[in-house]
Amino acid sequence: MPVFSIVIGIIFGFLAALAAFVITYNEYEKHKFTGKRLFMQAFKTAIFTFAVFLILSLLAGFLLARFVLNNR
């Protein structure tokens, strides 16, 4: 179960991070950020989003394994 949670977390975390990067890049561009600062702020947001999705996926997998799958 942990491997499945990691795979799901990586797949959906990557998609969420990509979406967060595009949205943040677009919004910061409207606020006159330019160059490296614009890219780095959007990239930091994407990394944070990926980490949150991965942690939530691991937590969900742990809770499923602990409370649902062990009560058969």
Domain positions in the chain: 2-67
Hey, what long-range contacts does 20-27 have (CB within 8 A, 24 or more apart)?
20/45, 20/46, 20/48, 20/49, 21/45, 21/46
Residue 70 has pLDDT above 90, yes or no: no
Identify the pLDDT of residue 66.
84
What is d(CA 22, CA 49) in angstroms, rounded to the nearest whole number?
Answer: 12
Q: What is the pLDDT of residues 10-23, one digit of tens each?
A: 999 999 999 999 99
What is d(CA 41, CA 72) in angstroms, rounded to the nearest whole number?
Answer: 47
